[in-house]
């Protein structure tokens, strides 16, 4: 009995030591291959850069999970909904969101959530890039000065709007066909497209966009994000908006 008790006690001590070592070890964020989206009318847009390209401002792990998990999940949900509702396959996402009030009840929530997420993220990947940042240029710079009080004021107002979002959401700059800019925030995955507005640029302030690197420091994330804004691409979107051709 004494020997058995001693062996059991040593075993338990060993398990305790192992558990302590595991708790003390640095955590590694393991990933498996992202599941492929089911066949359907919606697809994950290809990014023009690799996941690590926006380091150190946005870390590679966050970019990878954000793109291959979160955005892919929106595409999956849309394609799953489209299996049973052909109306979803007949229109591009910006038109579906613009007519969200007229959609059948059964698909309105999936379109609002997954469709909004798909549109928002498609825009998000496009307006960022490596070796970017700095001050805006071209017509966008002039519009920011005219409509938003100049770049410094715009940055401060944009960051403040991002900080005011309670929980999860986005902060956007919209643009009309005359080129006029406006700043607004939206909750969850709501998009200005739902109000038939065009989106020039926007930043994702859901925690999944920044938490691995910045934890709860959303303000630091918002400030760091300016270093990856691709103003050349934003100018392309601005020109497309004035031509009435900007979609997401």
Let me know: does 242 contact 178? Beta carbons within 8 Å: yes
pLDDT of residue 86: 79
Structure confidence at residue 189 (pLDDT): 98
The answer on pLDDT for 2 being more than 50 is no
pLDDT tens digits along 85-114: 877 888 999 999 999 999 988 899 999 999
Please state, rounded to an integer, the average pLDDT across all residues of the chain: 87
The predicted pLDDT at position 88 comes to: 84
Radius of gyration of the chain (CA): 22
The label of the residue with tokens 């939206």 reads 186
Report the range of poorest mean pLDDT among 16-30, 47-61, 135-149.
16-30
Mean pLDDT of 152-169: 98
Cα(5)–Cα(9) distance, rounded to whole angstroms?
6
Biggest CA-to-CA distance, the chain = 88
pLDDT at residue 56, rounded to an integer: 98
The pLDDT tens digits for 195-243 are: 999 999 999 999 999 999 999 999 999 999 999 999 999 999 999 999 9
Question: What are the DSSP E strand ranges found in the chain?
Answer: 169-175, 181-187, 198-204
Question: Residue 30 has what DSSP assignment?
Answer: -
| Average pLDDT, integer, range 138-149 | 98
Q: Average of pLDDT values for 61-83?
A: 95
Question: What is the pTM assigned to this prediction?
Answer: 0.84
Q: What is the pLDDT of residue 38?
A: 53
> Model confidence over 30-61: pLDDT tens digits?
333 444 545 689 999 999 999 999 999 999 99
Q: Is the pLDDT of residue 120 over 60?
A: yes
User: Left if phi > 0, otherwise alpha if psi is -120 to 50, otherwise beta: which for 196?
Assistant: left
Report the pLDDT averaged over residues 114-122.
98
Whether the bond into 230 is cis, omega within 30 of 0? no
pLDDT over 70, % of the chain:
84
Burial of 45 (0-12, 13-18, 19+ CB in 10 A): middle
Amino acid 80: pLDDT: 92
């Amino acid at each position: 009995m004494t020997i058995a008790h001693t062996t059991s006690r040593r075993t338990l001590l060993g398990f305790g030591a192992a558990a302590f070592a595991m708790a003390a070890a640095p955590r590694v964020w393991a990933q498996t291959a992202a599941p492929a989206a089911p066949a359907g009318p919606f697809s994950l847009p290809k990014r023009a850069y690799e996941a690590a390209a926006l380091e150190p401002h946005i870390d590679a792990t966050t970019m990878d999970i954000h793109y291959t998990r979160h955005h892919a999940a929106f595409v999956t949900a849309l394609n799953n909904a489209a299996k049973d509702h052909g109306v979803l396959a007949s229109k591009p996402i910006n038109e579906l969101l613009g007519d969200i009030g007229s959609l059948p009840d059964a698909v309105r929530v999936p379109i609002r959530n997954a469709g909004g997420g798909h549109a928002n993220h498609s825009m998000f990947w496009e307006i960022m890039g490596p070796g970017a940042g700095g001050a805006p240029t071209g017509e966008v710079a002039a519009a920011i000065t005219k409509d938003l009080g100049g770049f410094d004021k715009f940055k401060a107002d944009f960051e403040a709007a991002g900080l005011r979002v309670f929980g999860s959401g986005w902060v956007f700059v919209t643009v009309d066909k005359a080129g006029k800019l406006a700043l607004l925030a939206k909750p969850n995955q709501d998009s200005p497209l739902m109000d038939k507005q065009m989106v020039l640029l926007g930043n994702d302030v859901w925690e999944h966009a920044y938490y691995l690197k910045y934890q709860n420091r959303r303000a630091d994330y918002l400030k760091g994000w300016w270093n990856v804004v691709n103003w050349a691409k934003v100018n392309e979107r601005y020109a497309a908006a004035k031509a009435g051709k900007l979609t997401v």
